[in-house]
Every structure is written in structure tokens, then in C-alpha cells.
Amino acid sequence: MGLNVTKLLAELERMTGTELRRRYAEVFGEESRSGNRQWLIRRIAWRMQALEEGDLPERARQRALEIANDADLRVHAPAHGPVIGTISADRTATLSTGNSDRLPMPGSLLTREYKGRMIRVRVLPKGFEHEGEVYRSLSAIAKTVTGAHWNGNLFFGIGSPTKRTKAVPQ
């Protein structure tokens, strides 16, 4: 007797959040820490399939643990020292962009089309370069381009579901 996954998914989709959490507890033997419907549905379906068709063999589990224990995993990104950003041939300045996790890596190129014009911004370790000028923030560049106050992350589509900007590592 095989598990009908389509039927199982349809049954899970009809359940309320409370019913899904109760079903999760039955299948996993512990309470769910999440109330997200889609996550619960996927986890329950996965677990039921694993129970029906068999889980990983013990040998495969042991090998996976060996590989994981031998792996050198980086927990934090490497720190970058202070860098001087060039404003022009005769002037330099140290700029701070803060520690935003949303920003792409230094060296990335942000592009956005605005009123038929392609805006290109290079992410520097301490600032942003646009048309040979170094700016402290994306908001300053957005204001220069549009003449109006903009949230720089919003203007360049950083961290939003609709990515209007492409970050290209260089």
C-alpha cells in the first residue's frame, strides 16, 4: 500500500493551522515551533513519505555526520579593514556605510534603469561609486539621480521582493 502524495497534500491543504500543528506533533513526536502553514504542510508530507518509504540508511547518516564534522564551516564573513575611497584624482576620503547585511559584497555592481537612463553604482568597502564620485549612501546617489529624497535600498531594489537591481560581483 503506497502513500498517495497528491491526496495527502490535498488533505493537508484543507486543515487549519491548529490542525496542522496537531498533525505535526503526531508525525514528529514533538510540538512545532512554527505556525507557517506552507512550512508545516511540506514538513508533514516529507516526514510521512520518509516513514512510508524508508528514511536514510544508518550508514548514510553516519557518513553525513563524518563529512559535516570534518568540514571547516565559516560562521562569520571575514572582516575588512578601513579602505580609502577615491573621490577624484586629488581628493580622498574615508567613508562609512555602516554594517548592513542587505548590501552586496564590495566590488558588486548595482544597476537600475531610471527614466531611460542606466544607473550604475559600484559597491566599495566604505561607500558607493557613481560616475566617478564616491557617496556615503545609496540614498545620496538616488537623490542626485532623481532630485528627490529616496530610500536608497528601495530605489535600488535591495532587500525587497521585487528586485529592480542586479548585483554583479566584479
Closest by CA position to 156, among listed 109, 116, 88: 109
CA dihedral 55, 58, 64, 67 (to 10 degrees): 180
Domain boundaries, the chain: 5-70, 85-168
- Which one has a higher pLDDT value, 163 or 157? 157
How confident is the model at residue 87, as a pLDDT? Answer: 46
Count Cα atoms within 13 angstroms, Cβ side, for 84.
8
Tell me the HSE value of 111 on the side-chain side, using a 13 A CA sphere.
9
**What pLDDT score does 57 carry?**
85
Q: Report the pLDDT value the prediction gives residue 56, as an integer from 0 to 100.
A: 80
Instruction: Give tens-digit pLDDT for 20-61.
Output: 999 999 999 999 998 899 999 999 998 988 888 887 888 988
| Calpha distance 38→24 (Å, rounded) | 12
Q: What residues does 127 pair with on adjacent strands?
A: 124
User: What whole-number distance in Å separates Cα of residue 100 and Cα of residue 42?
Assistant: 32
- Per-residue pLDDT, 170: 55
Higher pLDDT, residue 81 or 141 = 141
Percentage above 70 pLDDT, the chain: 75
pTM of the model: 0.38
